[in-house]
């Protein structure tokens, strides 16, 4: 849902001459709101998605603006635009993802419990990480970079052999009823069943496993390694399709770029959960406002007791997605009433409001992507 040239949203209202959202915005640039229009050169600055993850999505990171421009100039077939792509995932169901580097003591513990991983990285690099003290963050990051890069660049036959040995060992331990958590066994076997022989299976020993409950979010800034593993989420991001991948994927892999660009600052998994703040203007609205100008998301929970609700006007174009509930929407901008139900999507111009006449016994759950400059 958005106006990226590789996936311009289709307008369903046949009374409107433009066929896509991008065409409509180009003809009606004031719909973006003055600040958004000026800051983002007349473009809608965000993309809004719903993801339903059954098989893990690739180990990846997104470049910052400077690197995105460089990659796009060099390899336009792989990096289709010059924009950065910070993104946020908000869980709709229990959701699992890998995100950011684990605290060093967790990585060291895996290196001691998983000899196959240690063999891939090599004793010299492992010992350097084991010796790096928490009082020297630059030393920790440098040692982490060496270890992760050695893993990701290891020779295919060697890592496949080590992975097969590891999978065999953990499968046997699991059959014998042993605790395999010291080797992250359950997750390793699950990813290996989805991507047999893939180097990405080893990244679970470096990256935090983050578990989100519905309504919880994680924010992924530039250069943050991540992968979505399973669950349903809404996702919002800057308007870009730039992804640097390194594993768990059949798509183009760019290991060198990924290892060069990553943020090697370890942090606990709890720090990866991004909080929503309840709006002071409307207690039904919770705002996720990440540290980038391109987008913010509002979660709107309307209780069953409210039968008439106003989606308030803001000074930004926004996209509204209905997750749960039914209502009839009216607006001064719309020529007729709009029937809204699960899966309905509305584009709302800046400074326009919508009145919802709720008809569902359970209230409504909506998400609204916008730009809060």
Q: Is 87 annotated as a binding-site member?
A: yes
Among 118, 245, 299, 368, the one annotated catalytic: 245
Q: Which two tokens stand for residue 236?
A: 């919002």
Inter-CA distances, 349 with 48, 88, 181, 309, Å: 16, 22, 50, 18
Judged by DSSP in three states, 345 sits in strand
User: Is 230 within 8 Å of 193 (Cβ atoms)?
Assistant: no
DSSP state at residue 10: B
- 245 is known as an active-site residue: yes
Residue 299: beta bridge partners? 286, 367
Q: Which two tokens stand for residue 306?
A: 């409210």
Q: Is 72 annotated as a binding-site member?
A: no
d(CA 124, CA 141): 16
10 Å CB burial of residue 284 (0-12, 13-18, 19+) is middle
DSSP state at residue 181: G
Residue 273: beta bridge partners? 218
Question: What is the CB-side half-sphere exposure of residue 244 using CA atoms within 13 A?
Answer: 26
Which of 262, 200, 248 has the alpha carbon at shortest distance from 57? 248
Q: Is 66 annotated as a binding-site member?
A: no
Say which residue the tokens 């890998």 belong to.
98
Helix (H) / strand (E) element for 338: namely strand 338-340
Which of 80, 159, 156 has the alpha carbon at shortest distance from 114? 159
Alpha-helical segments (H) within 75-200 = 104-113, 115-121, 123-131, 137-152, 156-175, 185-194
Active site residues: 245
Annotated binding site for Zn(2+): 60, 62, 87, 226
């Amino acid at each position: 849902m958005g106006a990226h040239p590789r996936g311009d949203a289709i307008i369903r209202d046949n009374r409107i001459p433009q066929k896509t959202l991008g065409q409509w915005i180009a003809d009606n640039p004031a719909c973006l709101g003055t600040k958004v229009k000026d800051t983002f050169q007349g473009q809608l600055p965000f993309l809004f998605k719903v993801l339903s993850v059954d098989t893990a999505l690739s180990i990846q990171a997104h470049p910052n603006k400077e690197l995105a421009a460089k990659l796009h100039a060099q390899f336009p077939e792989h990096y289709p635009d010059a924009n950065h792509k910070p993104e946020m995932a908000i869980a709709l169901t229990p959701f699992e993802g890998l995100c950011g580097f684990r605290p060093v003591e967790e990585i060291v513990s895996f290196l001691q419990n998983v000899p196959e991983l240690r063999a891939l990285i090599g004793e010299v690099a492992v010992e350097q990480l084991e010796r790096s003290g928490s009082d020297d963050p630059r030393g920790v990051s440098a040692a982490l970079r060496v270890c992760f890069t050695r893993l990701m660049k290891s020779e295919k036959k060697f890592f496949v052999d080590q992975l097969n040995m590891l999978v065999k060992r953990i499968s046997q331990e699991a059959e014998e009823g042993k605790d395999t958590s010291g080797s992250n066994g359950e997750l390793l076997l699950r990813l290996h069943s989805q991507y047999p022989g893939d180097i990405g299976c080893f990244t679970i020993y470096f990256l935090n496993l983050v578990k989100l409950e519905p309504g919880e979010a994680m924010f992924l800034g530039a250069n943050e390694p991540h992968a979505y593993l399973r669950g349903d989420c809404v996702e919002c991001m800057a308007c870009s399709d730039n992804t640097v991948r390194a594993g768990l994927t059949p798509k183009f892999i760019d290991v060198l770029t990924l290892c060069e660009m990553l943020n090697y600052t370890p942090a606990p998994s709890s720090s990866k959960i991004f909080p929503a703040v309840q709006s002071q203007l409307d207690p039904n609205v919770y705002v996720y406002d990440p540290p980038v100008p391109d987008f913010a998301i509002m979660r709107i929970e309307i209780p069953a007791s409210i039968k008439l609700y106003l989606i308030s006007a803001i000074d930004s174009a926004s996209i509204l997605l209905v997750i749960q509930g039914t209502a009839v929407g009216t607006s001064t901008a719309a020529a007729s009433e709009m029937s809204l139900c699960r899966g309905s999507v509305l584009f709302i111009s800046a400074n326009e409001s919508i009145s919802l006449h709720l008809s569902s016994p359970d209230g409504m759950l909506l998400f609204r992507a916008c730009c809060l400059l």
